[in-house]
């Protein structure tokens, strides 16, 4: 198994399913308040170049529950923020810590860090991928549907890091995925090419949100302007008109369809308040599962 968790494409279906099995066990132990100190005495450095709510809290709490110690590092308060080469930071940090989680902009940053660090490196988010979130999303689907097999997944909105990681997940797990994205906001073409070369899943890109939502088992969306794209907000609002996951779109899906959103949500933009608060929404289970999935990832890589 790969020592790092930088993208889903690094792993086989069997390896990721094993993480889900461990996640289920760890979640049960957490709920029952059973000790599960699999990483007792170990330290996770958490490097943040992007601000965070769920990523920081879930990794920090998760490491504590595993018996280890989380260490928060803001890039602006470290030598990385003053221009120290990534490879220098990586080699030194590997001598202090047992693992590193990085939440940053460029995928190249986590890849270079992993190249020079002898300890596991986990991608907490980049502009290209968000693998931890997708693992939490798929695990949430498994909890509510029993399996991801044979389900139709729909993505409504920007072809961003979430869309890219959903495409990799579809290829690995073998479920059908339709992505409705406006012109000019498609997912990464290299990620699409990898998925088509390495999986048999039906992956479709359309300009019509209704096509994606029709008969879907799972509906998913994200903000129209991600972190670092705030200056594009007005332009994106025009481009994404008609791409809101609202009651009309939800009505086209199956009656028991699940609604996912990785949060934070801009209610009234990419999703309506009624849908995120409605009976189909499993957004809060999804958010909680970040904790349990990431514990499984850390325990798998750092034991």
The answer to whether residue 130 is catalytic is yes
294 in a known ligand binding site: no
273 in a known ligand binding site: no
Which residues does residue 86 pair with via DSSP β-bridges, in sequence order?
Answer: none
Catalytic residue, candidates 4, 23, 103, 292: 103
161 in a known ligand binding site: yes
131 in a known ligand binding site: yes
Catalytic residue, candidates 23, 107, 130, 261: 130
130 in a known ligand binding site: yes
The answer to whether residue 233 is catalytic is no
Of 234, 243, 233, 244, the residue nearest 206 (C-alpha): 243
DSSP at 46? E
Residues 31 and 33: their CA atoms lie apart, in Å, by 5
Residues 284 and 140: their CA atoms lie apart, in Å, by 10
Q: Read off φ and ψ for residue 56, nearest 5 degrees.
A: -65, -50
133 in a known ligand binding site: yes
206 in a known ligand binding site: no
263 in a known ligand binding site: yes
Residues contacting residue 235 through CB under 8 Å, at least 6 positions apart = none
Catalytic residue, candidates 65, 107, 133, 294: 133
The answer to whether residue 97 is catalytic is no
The answer to whether residue 133 is catalytic is yes
Catalytic residue, candidates 217, 290, 292, 294: 290
Helices (H) and strands (E) in the chain, counts: 12, 9
Active site residues: 103, 130, 133, 222, 262, 290
> Residues comprising the binding site?
52-55, 79, 103, 130-133, 161, 222, 226-227, 262-263, 290
> Residues comprising the binding site for carbamoyl phosphate?
52-55, 79, 103, 130-133, 262-263, 290
């Amino acid at each position: 198994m790969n020592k790092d968790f930088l993208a889903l494409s690094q792993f086989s279906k069997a390896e990721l399913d094993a993480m889900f099995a461990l996640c289920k066990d760890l979640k049960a132990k957490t709920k029952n308040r059973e000790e599960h100190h699999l990483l007792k005495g170990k330290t996770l450095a958490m490097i943040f170049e992007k601000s965070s709510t769920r990523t920081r809290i879930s990794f920090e709490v998760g490491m504590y529950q595993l018996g280890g110690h989380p260490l928060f590092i803001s890039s602006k308060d470290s030598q990385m923020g003053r221009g120290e080469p990534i490879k220098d930071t990586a080699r030194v940090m590997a001598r202090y810590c047992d693992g590193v989680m990085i939440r940053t902009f460029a995928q190249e940053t986590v890849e270079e860090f992993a190249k020079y660090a002898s300890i596991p490196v986990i991608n907490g988010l980049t502009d290209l991928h968000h693998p931890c979130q997708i693992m939490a999303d798929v695990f949430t689907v498994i909890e509510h549907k029993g399996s991801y097999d044979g389900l139709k997944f729909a993505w409504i909105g920007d072809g961003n890091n979430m869309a890219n990681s959903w495409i990799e997940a579809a290829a690995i797990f073998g479920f059908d995925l339709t992505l409705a994205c406006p012109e000019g906001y498609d997912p990464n073409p290299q990620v699409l090419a990898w998925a088509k070369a390495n999986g048999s899943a039906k992956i479709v890109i359309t300009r019509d949100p209704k096509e994606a939502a029709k008969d879907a088992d799972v509906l998913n969306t994200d903000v129209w302007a991600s972190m670092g794209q705030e200056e594009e907000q007005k332009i994106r609002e025009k481009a994404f008109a008609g791409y809101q996951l609202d009651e009309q779109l939800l009505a086209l899906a199956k009656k028991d369809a699940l609604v996912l959103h990785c949060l934070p949500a801009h209610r009234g933009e990419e999703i309506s308040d009624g849908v995120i608060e409605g009976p189909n929404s499993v957004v809060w289970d999804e958010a909680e599962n970040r904790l349990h999935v990431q514990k499984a990832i850390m325990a798998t890589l750092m034991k």
